[in-house]
């Protein structure tokens, strides 16, 4: 079979599988289960890079494949999946169409740009990246579930507009020339803790625990 199937990409694949399952859940009207899948995809993405870098004997082809497959999966998990969620909420048609198109378009632009710059960076240095340009697409896995959890504080007829408004804002942050520091190990631990709290909240919501 073509492709690479070592442990360096296993979390990337698992995150993609979770997002595809999430898309089926939002189509079936199970919102909480869909957001649960989004959080799981975010947790997978949080550590897939570290696991990939732990494999010291990766070939150049495996390294390039890892970059490409990570971006392709990120586009589905944090671009297409949120777009399906946003379009699911009934608002005026142009708004939900615009927010869905924008988050996919801006995600693919950012990921494509990142790939170009990352390949160039790796040719010139072996140092780990210290900052990102533009907000990482993975951020939606924490921001959107938090917004959904706070929906009870927002009138139900207004919440879809708020949600899609945040989608538009997030889309712009993907492609703005802003510097975002790459999380340290301590920062990753904080993010992981927040996402686990969100995860437990959704598990209770769908009566898994």
User: Is the per-residue pLDDT at 160 higher than 70?
Assistant: yes
User: How confident is the model over 16-60, as pLDDT tens digits?
Assistant: 999 999 999 999 999 999 999 999 999 999 888 777 777 777 777
CB 112 within 8 A of CB 75: no
Query: Radius of gyration over alpha carbons of the chain, in Å?
Result: 17
Residues paired with residue 131 on neighbouring β-strands, in sequence order:
181
* Top CATH class, 7-205: mainly alpha
User: How confident is the model over 101-121, as pLDDT tens digits?
Assistant: 999 999 999 999 888 877 777
Is residue 137 helix, strand or coil?
A: helix
- What's the CA gap between 142 and 173, in Å, rounded? 15
Q: Is the pTM of this model over 0.85?
A: yes
């Amino acid at each position: 079979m073509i492709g690479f199937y070592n442990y360096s990409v296993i979390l990337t694949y698992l995150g993609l599988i979770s997002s595809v399952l999430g898309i089926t859940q939002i189509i079936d009207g199970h919102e909480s289960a869909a957001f649960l899948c989004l959080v799981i995809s975010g947790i997978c993405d949080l550590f897939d890079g570290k696991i990939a870098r732990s494999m010291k004997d990766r070939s150049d082809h495996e390294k390039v494949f890892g970059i490409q497959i990570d971006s392709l999966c990120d586009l589905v998990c944090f671009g297409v999946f949120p777009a399906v969620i946003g379009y699911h909420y009934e608002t005026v048609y142009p708004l939900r169409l615009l927010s869905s198109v924008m988050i996919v378009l801006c995600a693919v632009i950012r990921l494509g740009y990142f790939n170009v710059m990352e390949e160039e960076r790796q040719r010139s240095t072996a140092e780990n990246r210290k900052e990102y340009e533009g907000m990482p697409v993975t951020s939606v896995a924490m921001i959107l579930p938090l917004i959904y959890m706070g929906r009870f504080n927002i009138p139900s007829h207004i919440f879809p507009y708020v949600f899609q408004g945040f989608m538009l804002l997030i889309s712009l942050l993907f492609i703005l020339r802003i510097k975002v520091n790459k999380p340290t190990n301590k920062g990753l631990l904080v993010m992981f803790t927040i996402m686990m709290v969100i995860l437990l909240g959704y598990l209770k919501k769908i009566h898994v625990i």
